[in-house]
Structure 1
Amino acid sequence: MGPILGAEFVVTAGDLTAYADAGHLASATGLVPVPRDSGRRTGNLHRPKRYSRRLRRGFYMAAQTSIIRDGPNRDFYLKKRGEGCKHAQAVIALARRRTGVLWAVLRDDRVFTSAPPVAQAA
């Protein structure tokens, strides 16, 4: 996420204590499908009606631009495409994944690095 989308995220998301975890942030962003089941029809998922359009746009644009360069984001996108997802579905899946990463970085007050953190001995 660059400086412009990052600033838009900070303004739109507001206080992060309003979100209990990364799932709540993703839900407020509209990246988590909600069920629309009726009677015997189950597993019918769709985009929620109430979510922050600006947050969703920010995460979508960040995911969209991250697939341009080689790296783990592009690899995840290509994996989703290989599983049969369309372009928009794969980008939304990547945006949902990046929501969790951003949440963890902000929660732990860390600088993002592509290498996973080293486990500390207890």
Structure 2
Amino acid sequence: MALDDELDETDALIERRFRDHPYVEIILSTPGLGPVLGAEFIAHTGGGMNVFGSPDRLAGVAGLAPVPQDSGRISGNMRRPCRYCRRLMRVFYMPAQVAARCCPTSKAFYDRKRALARRRLNVLWALLRDNRPLESSPPFPVATLG
């Protein structure tokens, strides 16, 4: 029981520190990302996105972007990289699995492509770049025919 109490105190400390970050509303607006995974994301990215320069570079570091395994005569062979940050990869796969069950938009994308973790990385990158939270409705009204 003492270990459970210590874990609860640690989780509360992580959440308090996470709530002080300027990107907290943006990160928590994405389905599946909570305070613990959000804090882990901030810890592994250094708190800012300008270190990576592009979402493709972040995906490469997280192991979500395939790398070429070409020979002299054959090209187009892609594989998972050998060197990547497994903890950062987990930060994107865990919420993707939760969102695939709970969020209808994410479920539809997961059923179509099965590349939901990479898609969520791109969405989170755009949200942080634009400094806005995720909206459940489209940002612009769709014109109707008719």
- Residue 84 of structure 1 corresponds to none
Q: Quote the Cα distance in structure 1 between the aligned partners of 2:34 and 2:138.
A: 21
Q: Quote the Cα distance in structure 2 between the aligned partners of 1:70 and 1:30.
A: 24
Q: What is the correspondence of 1:1-122 to structure 2 with a 5 Å cutoff?
A: 1-14=33-46, 15-80=48-113, 90=114, 93-118=115-140
The structural deviation recorded for 1:118 is 2.9
**4+ residue segments displaced more than 4 Å:** none
The structural deviation recorded for 1:94 is 0.5
CA RMSD of aligned residues (A): 1.5
Identity of aligned residues (%): 50
The structural deviation recorded for 1:70 is 4.3
- Residue 83 of structure 1 corresponds to none
Q: Quote the Cα distance in structure 1 between the aligned partners of 2:136 and 2:61.
A: 26
| Structure with bigger gyration radius | 2
Q: Deviations over 1:18-58 (max 9, x none)?
A: 11111111111110000000022222110112211111011
- Residue 87 of structure 1 corresponds to none
Alignment coverage as a number of residue pairs:
108
